[in-house]
Chains A and B, each alone.
Chain A
C-alpha cells in the first residue's frame, strides 16, 4: 500500500525523448505519435529572428497525472478505469468497451487507444512491469539523461519525493479543476 506520485524537475528537460522510447520498450506500447503514454510538450518560440523570447520556448514532460479525483474514472461506465491499492489510475482491459468517455473527460489528454487490446490505455507508473518485479523507479525516470523525474510514495514522509515536495516549490497542471494530480512540477 502506497500513494505513488512523481515530481518533475522539468527545467532539466532537453526534449530528447529518451523517456518516450524507454516507456514504449518497457511496456510494449504501439508505434505512432498518437500512441504515447508519455510525451514532451513543446511551445513554439515567440518573436522574430534574432529577437526571440528565450523564456517562451519551454519543454514540458508529461504523462497521466494519476489524479486523486480522476475525471476519467468518474465517467467510465464499466469501472474499467479504477484506482489500484497504490493510488495508481489503472485500466482493466477486460472491462473496457472503448466508449472513449475517458478520453474526452481527461483534461490532460493522457489517454489513447491501444489497437491490439482495444482498450483506452494510459501510463500506469510501470505498475505491471517494473514495479511488479520489485523495481522502485519507472522506465522514464531511470533512463532520463538529466534526471527530470523522481517517483515515489507520497505517504512515506522519508521518501525522496516527499522530501523534494517539502523543500522545493512546485505546482500542478490545471489544479483549478480539482483533479488533485499526483504529478508535481518543481520550480
Chain B
C-alpha cells in the first residue's frame, strides 16, 4: 500500500527523478523532455537530502533587474535559489520568478543542440547538427550573401534582448561592421530614458526609502517589480511614512497598496502633469532658489504653461481626474518637497505623447528642487570598471543604417537612437523602402515574434530573411523561424561580464557559473569564439576583394599582421569570462575574489556591510550614501534643467511639452481600448513556459468591466476573441470592476505559437497579435496603448 511507503524513500526518489527530468532526452524528438506524468509529480525538490552541498552566488536573469541570489547545489543539482543579502540593489529578496529560475534551468523544452532548419520557416522542423556543422553552414551562407552584396556589411541585421551578455554579442556586431543594430529600447524604455536624459542629463533613480510623497503614475511597482524600488516603497505606504498617489486607468496591486488611487483616461497623463505644473507656477509653490540656479528657459516655460491655460479645470474633462484633486496633489507634493517624487517609471511607450509626458514629469520634479537629493530623484554614485575588449574595423563598403530619409530628416521619427526603431525598421524592410537589401540576421536572446506589435508582419520579415541565426535558451516563436539555432546555456550555467550598479549604494555584482552547461549548450562568449574561428578569415577575404581602402593598406603592410591587428574577430573571445572579469576589476584590491565568493563587491564592504536583523542589512552607513553627487546640479551638458529643446522644434517636435487635441482619449462606441502590462509572476514571453510560474497562474485573462461583461453575457473563464485591424487572439475573460467600461487589459507574453513549448504553446492570448503598429514620433518607439479592439464571445 502506498501509505506504508516511507516518506524518506519517496523523497529520495523525488531527487532521482528530478535529475532525470533535467537531463533525460528522447532520441526521437529534439524538443521532447522527460515523460509528462513523472514531470508533473517531480517538479520541485525538497532541499537537504543530499550528501554534497555547494552554495554559489549568482545573479538572477528571470527579468532585467539582476537581483543577487545564492544557488544551493545538492549532489550537482540546483535545488533552491535563495536571496543573497549582500547586494544593495536587491537587498535580501527573490521574487517568484527569481525562485522559479530552477525551472528555467531544468525546463525539458530547452534548446539542447545546434540545429539547422529542415522544414518550412515557422514550422519548427530541424535536424540536430554539431557545432562545427552549424558554424560552417552560417559561414557559407554569410560569405555568399556578403560576396553578392560586395562587402556591404549592413546587409546583415543584428538584434539582441536585454541582458548581461548583450554587450558581448554587441562586440560581434561591431566587429562584423553592420550599421543595423536593433535592441529592446524602442519597444521598451527609450522614450522615458531619453526624455529624462535630455531634460535632467540622466535617467535618475528614486530614493523611495526617504521620500515622503510619491506620485506613482503609469508604473505598477507591486506587479512590475523593480529592485530596490518595490521593496522600499511598499513598507512605507498606508500611513507608514510615505503617502503614495497611484494614477492608473486600472486598479492594480499598486493601487491596492496606495493611499489614493485616481483612474485616469489612458494616454492623458501629460495633461495631468501640465495641470500640476500650472498650479505650482501660478501659486508660486516651486523652489525658487533651485529654479534660479539650475533652470534654462524657465520664463519661457512658465509663460507657455500659463498662457496655454493648462488649469486643473482644463485638465479635468481630458484626464477624468477632478480639478480639486489636481490642486490637492500639486500643493501636497510641493509641501513635501524636496522629499517628494514624481516616479519616473520604466516601461514601454504606451501613448504617442510619451516623450513629452516624460519631459513634463522631469521638469515638474525639478520645480520641487527634488533632484540629486535625499528623498528625491538621485543620480547616485558609480564604481568604474574596465570594458570588454572590442574591435571596430572600418569597412569602406558598409552602408549606413537602413533608414528612410526625407529632406527634413527621417521619415519615421525625429531621432534615430543607437537601438533604432524596431517597428519602423521592420516595416521599411517589408515595404521595400530600405536603401539597400538586408538579407540575413543574427538574433541573440530576443523574441521579435512576441515582443513587438503586429506579429503577422514580423513573421513575414523573418520569412523574407535568407539567413536567420538565433542564439537562445528556449525554442521561442522566433526560433521557429530560424535557419540555424545555437543553444545558449541558461544564466545558472555561465559566468557573465561583471557589472557595475550605480545608485545611492553603488556596488559591483557578478553572475557566477553555478553548474556546468547542460547538453551541448554554451555561453555566448564561447559560441562567438567558435563562430568567429570559422567566420573571421573568410569575412576578411570578402573585404579584401571589394574594399579599395583595405587593398591600398595591404599594398604597404604585411597581410597577416594587418589582419590580426584590424580584423581578427577571434581575439575578442579568446579568454574565458572568468579571466575577463578579473581583469575588469583589477583596480580594486580584493574585488575579484569578493565577486567570486560573495557575488558582490564595493569599496569598504568589509567595514560597511552588516546584518541588522533577520530581514534588514546595512550596506553603507547613512553618511556614506550617495544621495547627492553634485549638490543638486542636473547632469546635462549645460548643468541646467532644459525646459525648451530648440533643436527638437526644427524636427517638428514640440520644444516644450504641449498638449495636442489628438492626444485626447476616445474609443468608438462598442469598442475597447486595449492595454497591456506586466505581472509579478511573469516576465514577458521568456518565462511563459516556466512550470512553477504556470502553476501560480496557468494563463492570462482579459480584464473586462463587470457590468459590460454582464450585458454581453460574458462570465469568468469564457473564451473571447479580441479583434483589431491587424489580427485576432483568443483569451479567457475576467470580469472585474477594476477596469473602465471602455477598456480591456491583459498581460503580455502569452499565446505562444511555438509547438516546442509544452506549457506556453497556444496558452492564453497574445497582445502583439492584435496591437497595431503605431509609432511614437520622436524615437519611433512602438506606442502600445493606441489600439481599439472588438470583443466577441466564442
Contacts and interface: CB of A to CB of B under 8 A. Distances in A.
A49 B695 contact: no
Interface in B201-260: 222-223, 225, 227, 230-231, 234-235, 238, 240, 251, 253-258, 260
Interface in A103-155: 115-119, 128-130, 132-133, 136-137, 139, 141-147, 150-152
B235 A147 contact: yes
A18 B615 contact: no
Contacts of B99: 18, 21-22, 25, 143
Nearest to B690: A21
A95 to B, nearest CB: 9
Contacts of A24: 44, 692, 695
Given A16-B225, A45-B738, A150 B234 contact: no
A134 to B, nearest CB: 11
A115 B615 contact: no
A16 B683 CA distance: 13
A82 interface: no
Nearest to A49: B737
B681 A12 contact: no
A54 interface: yes
Contacts of A129: 46-48
Given A52-B737, A146-B231, A22 B11 contact: no
Interface stretch (B2-10, B634-642, B649-657): B2-10
Interface in B417-460: none
B96 A14 contact: no
Contact of A137 (B48, B223, B251, B614): B614
B153 to A, nearest CB: 45
Identify which of B79, B95, B100, B692 gathers the most chain A CB atoms within 10 Å of its CB. Answer: B95
B63 interface: no
B72 to A, nearest CB: 9
Interface stretch (B80-88, B128-136, B364-372, B519-527): B80-88
B60 to A, nearest CB: 12
B225 A28 contact: no
A178 interface: no
B99 to A, nearest CB: 4
A158 interface: no
A2 interface: no
Contacts of A27: 44, 46-47
A167 B6 CA distance: 44
A37 B463 CA distance: 48
A54 B258 contact: yes
Contact of A14 (B46, B227, B230): B230
Contact of A145 (B5, B81, B230, B238): B230
B45 interface: yes
A24 B2 CA distance: 22
A17 B696 contact: yes
Interface in B718-771: 736-741
Contacts of B311: none
A11 B240 contact: yes
B636 to A, nearest CB: 34
B632 to A, nearest CB: 30
Contacts, number: 179
A1 interface: no
Given A25-B79, A45-B251, A129-B48, A52 B738 contact: yes
B645 interface: no
A151 B615 CA distance: 10
B40 interface: yes
A26 B80 contact: yes
Contacts of B254: 14
Interface string A144-185: 111100111000000010000000000000000000000000
A49 B263 contact: yes
Given A28-B44, A31-B691, A49 B92 contact: no
A146 B92 CA distance: 9
B280 interface: no
Interface in A5-63: 9, 11-12, 14-18, 20-22, 24-33, 44-45, 47-50, 52, 54, 57-59
Given A12-B234, A93-B6, A58 B256 contact: yes
A94 interface: yes
B222 A142 contact: no
Contacts of A76: none
Contacts of B3: 96-98, 118-119
Nearest to A16: B680
Interface of A: 9, 11-12, 14-18, 20-22, 24-33, 44-45, 47-50, 52, 54, 57-59, 93-94, 96-98, 115-119, 128-130, 132-133, 136-137, 139, 141-147, 150-152, 160
Given A147-B92, A147-B235, 7 more contacts: A17-B696, A26-B47, A98-B3, A116-B41, A141-B615, A143-B99, A160-B613
18 contacts: A12-B235, A16-B95, A18-B95, A25-B44, A28-B14, A28-B45, A30-B43, A31-B40, A31-B691, A49-B263, A52-B251, A139-B82, A143-B82, A143-B83, A146-B230, A146-B235, A147-B235, A147-B616
Interface of B: 2-7, 10-11, 14, 40-41, 43-48, 79-83, 92-96, 98-100, 102, 222-223, 225, 227, 230-231, 234-235, 238, 240, 251, 253-258, 260-261, 263, 320, 613-616, 680-681, 691-693, 695-696, 705, 707, 736-741
